[in-house]
Amino acid sequence: QKEVEQNSGPLSVPEGAIASLNCTYSDRGSQSFFWYRQYSGKSPELIMFIYSNGDKEDGRFTAQLNKASQYVSLLIRDSQPSDSATYLCALGDDMRFGAGTRLTVKP
Amino acid sequence: DTGVSQNPRHKITKRGQNVTFRCDPISEHNRLYWYRQTLGQGPEFLTYFQNEAQLEKSRLLSDRFSAERPKGSFSTLEIQRTEQGDSAMYLCASSPTELNTEAFFGQGTRLTVV
């Protein structure tokens, strides 16, 4: 069984702070990794994907991948109240999701 | 194209009845995924297709669940002999075949079993 584990949260940060979200996985064969955001009552939407070890930056978001440690993370810089949502890690061709981490950014 | 379309949006059924949901993916998206999501949980993988081929089905599912994608376009998910534990949001997503491309989600079908 492919496992995708996320820090359960909830995570609360003040506006302007850095939010750090983590995900570990069991399938060493996974080659693609995704971070989705899901607002309450809505469907998930892609934030970014990463497939190479190291960092990938897109605006205020940075994804970090370490295949040796089977670990992928998402950093949100200058967090805004509009970032309050559940963040989902997904991986592999079959797009397996973790349970998600609920983030609240307080003004 | 208006995106991934799921029908119906809501379904209330009595325990023991069969239900069928439909998903129309984005045109030319070869991959199609089905998930089940309950409150506070991430999307739980059910199955996925590459064109008309069902490549994987979750071992967590009982034989009451079946999915088809007969012509590689729309897909149906059927649940037989529904149970109260089947109450959830059923999500469909589609993506191109290429590696590292975004999967787009439909708005889901909310099933309530009474």
Residues of B in contact with A35 (CB under 8 A): none
Contact A54, A65 (CB under 8 A): yes
- Backbone CA torsion sign across B23, B28, B30, B33: negative
The CA distance from B56 to the nearest CA of chain A, in Å, is 8
A contact set with B (CB within 8 A) = 1, 6, 31-32, 34, 43-46, 49, 51, 86, 88, 93-100
What's phi and psi for A81, nearest 5 deg? -55, -30
Predicted pLDDT of residue B72: 85
Q: In chain B, which ranges are continuous DSSP H helix?
A: none
Rounded Cα–Cα distance for residues B103 and A47 (Å): 11
B68 has pLDDT over 60: yes
Of residues A49, A88, A94, nearest to B100 (C-beta): A49
Residue-wise pLDDT for B5-54, tens only, equals 999 999 999 999 999 999 999 998 999 999 999 998 999 999 999 999 99
The CA distance from B62 to the nearest CA of chain A, in Å, is 16
Contact B30, B50 (CB under 8 A): yes
Max distance between CA atoms of chain B, in angstroms, equals 41
| Share above pLDDT 90 across residues of chain B, in percent, rounded to a whole number | 81
Q: Look at residues A94, A38, A31, A21 and name the one whose alpha carbon lies nearest to residue B105.
A: A38
* Residue segments in chain A with a per-residue pLDDT below the cut of 50: none
Residue of A nearest to B106 (CA): A43
